């Protein structure tokens, strides 16, 4: 089925956002300012990239996954994050259509993806993303989403956003304290607690059970695959932030359908 103009524009905007997100990830991980240097550069040889080498996905294909100057391999992070951001924009446009809910959720999804890729490589979730994201999520849910009969009726609105943030963040804080008391170590990072403020504000208390189920199942599958491939035991650390973010984004797109399917399965 051909894309309508808005869907196509959302796809392109998503790819552009993904390209910006890759720069944010690299610069945060390496403690480099986001504005200086202003232009993108090769992380290996530091060569400034011409404009066409910044075209999302296409430049990776044209360069065959290597820097044009030093021939070092380009990290998988770049095309993966660009592709996921593009698909997020497209899926969001197809579900929500044009409007302020689309714009706000588009930005929040980009923040979740950026934080997830940072978490995958550093086991850290930056406050500079999670805390402003939580504020934006609360404002979005309060002023732009539901109640109504549209796709946003399923997610948080008004006071339910506050309840979702409180239960999500507070629940993870208690889990963190409980794990530390029982096991004497860190089972959940403080970054996950702050991330749940953002996510809880979006999905509301009614969406938390499904979200945690989705995140738990995908994290368990990823852990099993990781242990099989690496031969490491159950002590191998797995960042939970990416799975929470993935579950949130899936919930925002197809939460009612997944819940309906799950309830029918249990009958």
Sign of CA dihedral 237, 128, 155, 204: positive
**Radius of gyration (Cα) for the chain, nearest Å?**
19
* 33 lies in some domain: yes
Q: Are residues 228 and 266 in the same domain?
A: yes
Q: Are residues 106 and 210 in the same domain?
A: yes
Q: Is 44 exposed, middle or buried (0-12, 13-18, 19+ CB in 10 A)?
A: middle
Q: How many Å apart are CA 206 and CA 178, to the nearest integer?
A: 24
The overall longest dimension of the chain from CA atoms, in Å, is 60
Q: Are residues 75 and 166 in the same domain?
A: no
Q: How many Å apart are CA 68 and CA 234, to the nearest integer?
A: 41
pLDDT of residue 235: 67
Q: Are residues 70 and 104 in the same domain?
A: no
Picking from 56, 87, 118, the residue at the C-terminal end of a domain is: 87
Q: How many Å apart are CA 252 and CA 69, to the nearest integer?
A: 41
* 94 lies in some domain: no
Picking from 87, 114, 137, the residue at the C-terminal end of a domain is: 87
For residue 173, how many C-alpha atoms fall within 13 Å in the half-sphere facing its CB?
8
Low-confidence residues in the chain, pLDDT < 50: 149
pLDDT of residue 149: 44
Q: Are residues 160 and 227 in the same domain?
A: yes
Q: How far apart are the first and last CA of the chain?
A: 35
pLDDT of residue 234: 61
* 1 lies in some domain: yes
Q: Are residues 127 and 27 in the same domain?
A: no
Q: Are residues 62 and 150 in the same domain?
A: no
Q: Are residues 176 and 206 in the same domain?
A: yes
Structure token pair of residue 90? 């497209």
User: Which range of residues forms the domain containing residue 212?
Assistant: 99-267
Instruction: Provide the number of structural domains found in the chain.
Output: 2
Q: Are residues 113 and 159 in the same domain?
A: yes
CB 198 within 8 A of CB 108: yes
CB 89 within 8 A of CB 11: yes
Spatial CA neighbour of 154 closest among 87, 107, 95: 95
Structure token pair of residue 222? 């990823």
234-239, Cβ contacts within 8 angstroms, sequence gap of 24 or more: 237/123, 239/119, 239/120, 239/123
Helices (H), 97-126: 100-122
CA distances in angstroms from 76 to 79, 81, 103, 178, 266, listed in the order given: 6, 9, 27, 37, 39
pTM for the structure as a whole = 0.92
* 246 lies in some domain: yes
């Amino acid at each position: 089925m051909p894309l309508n103009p808005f869907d196509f524009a959302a796809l392109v905007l998503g790819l552009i956002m993904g390209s910006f997100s890759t720069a944010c990830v690299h610069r945060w991980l390496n403690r480099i300012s986001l504005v200086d240097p202003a232009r993108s550069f090769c992380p290996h040889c530091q060569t400034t990239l011409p404009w066409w080498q910044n075209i999302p996905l296409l430049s990776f294909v044209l360069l065959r996954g290597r820097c044009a100057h030093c021939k070092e391999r380009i990290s998988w992070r770049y095309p993966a994050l660009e592709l996921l951001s593009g698909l997020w924009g497209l899926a969001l446009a197809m579900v929500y259509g044009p409007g302020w809910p689309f714009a706000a959720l588009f930005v929040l999804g980009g923040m979740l993806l950026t934080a997830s890729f940072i978490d995958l490589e550093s086991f850290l979730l930056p406050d500079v993303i999670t805390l402003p994201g939580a504020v934006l999520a609360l404002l979005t849910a309060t002023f732009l989403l539901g109640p109504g009969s549209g796709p946003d009726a399923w997610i948080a609105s008004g006071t339910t956003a506050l309840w979702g943030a409180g239960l999500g963040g507070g629940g993870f804080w208690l889990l963190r304290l409980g794990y530390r008391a029982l096991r004497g170590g860190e089972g959940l990072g403080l970054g996950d607690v702050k991330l749940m403020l953002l996510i809880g504000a979006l999905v509301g208390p009614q969406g938390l059970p499904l979200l945690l189920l989705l995140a738990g199942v995908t994290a368990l599958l990823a852990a099993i695959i990781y242990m099989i491939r690496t031969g490491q035991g159950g002590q191998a650390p797995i960042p939970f932030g990416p799975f929470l973010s993935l579950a949130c984004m899936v919930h925002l797109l197809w939460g009612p359908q997944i819940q309906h399917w799950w309830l029918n399965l249990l009958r």
